[in-house]
């Protein structure tokens, strides 16, 4: 019996995840994508991309007054990144309300400073320094929307249903 209904795509929380240039250079693309796949998130967009300084500055505009802003922009534009949209198929059951891909992805990623990130997290397992912390994840659903609009064009997104969904959500 299907008691739940998959909500319209627009209502589904989405996170923008990005493997930074060090993750690409260090051969960690497969490993990092695999962590999100194994968790059960649904991949809705994926590409290898060399970004401009303008785009990097817009993405990190909230940090523009920080002392590390110039080196952060150099770092993010130093080579290709892998851009991803991860979604969590939310059902309209009460029990699933408030469970979000944004917060959950941040937990998988771990603390900004890899020395403080727990073992088992991506940064805890794969990185040692804040300025080379291999991966980005949106910090709020609103920023998820903003970042996806910034990094992806309409035709680059895929609407699809995973055969895993009934095995992930009761
Ligand atoms: N960053 C840095 N030095 C700092 C803080 C941040 O180089 O002292 C870089 C780091 O790559 C981090 C990014 O700036 O991931 C964005 O910072 P934020 O505080 O948003 O951390 P995040 O959301 O990525 O954990
Ligand atoms: Mg952030």
ipTM for this prediction: 0.99
Q: Which token pair is 51?
A: 């970004």
Q: Which ligand has the minimum distance to the alpha carbon of residue 121?
A: 1
Q: Is the CB of 116 under 6 A from ligand 1?
A: no
Q: Around ion ligand 2, which residues have CB less than 5 A away?
A: 139
Predicted TM-score (pTM) of this structure:
0.91
The pLDDT of residue 98 is 40
Q: Which listed residue (136, 138, 144, 151) is catalytic? A: 136
How much is the pLDDT for 163? Answer: 86
pLDDT along the chain (170 residues), means of 10: 45 88 98 94 93 98 98 98 83 45 93 98 98 96 92 89 81
* Per-residue confidence (pLDDT) for residue 7, from 0 to 100: 46
Query: Would the CB of 74 count as within 6 Å of ligand 1?
Result: no
Distance 163 CA to ligand 2 centre (A): 32
> Does the annotation flag 123 for ligand binding?
yes
Which pLDDT score, from 0 to 100, does residue 2 have?
43
Ligand nearest to the CA of 22: 1
| Cα–Cα distance for residue pair 170/164, rounded to 1 Å | 11
- The CA distances from residue 54 to 51, 66, 76, 77, in Å, are 8, 17, 11, 10
Nearest Cα residue to atom 2 of ligand 1: 131
136 is a catalytic site residue? yes
d(CA 135, CA 123): 8
């Amino acid at each position: 019996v299907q008691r739940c209904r998959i909500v319209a795509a627009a209502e589904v929380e989405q996170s923008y995840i990005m493997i930074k240039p060090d993750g690409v250079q260090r051969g960690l693309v497969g490993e990092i994508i695999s962590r999100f796949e194994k968790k059960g998130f649904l991949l809705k967009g994926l590409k290898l991309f060399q970004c401009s300084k303008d785009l990097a500055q817009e993405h990190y505009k909230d940090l523009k007054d920080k002392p590390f802003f110039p080196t952060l922009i150099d770092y993010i534009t130093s080579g290709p990144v892998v851009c991803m949209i991860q979604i969590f198929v939310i059902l309209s059951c009460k029990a699933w309300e408030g469970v979000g891909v944004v917060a959950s992805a941040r937990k998988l990623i771990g603390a900004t400073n890899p020395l403080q990130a727990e073992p088992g997290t991506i940064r805890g397992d794969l990185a040692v320094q804040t300025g080379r912390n291999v991966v980005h994840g949106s910090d709020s659903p609103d920023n998820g929307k903003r970042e996806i609009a910034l990094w992806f064009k309409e035709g680059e997104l895929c609407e699809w249903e995973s055969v895993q969904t009934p095995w992930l959500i009761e």
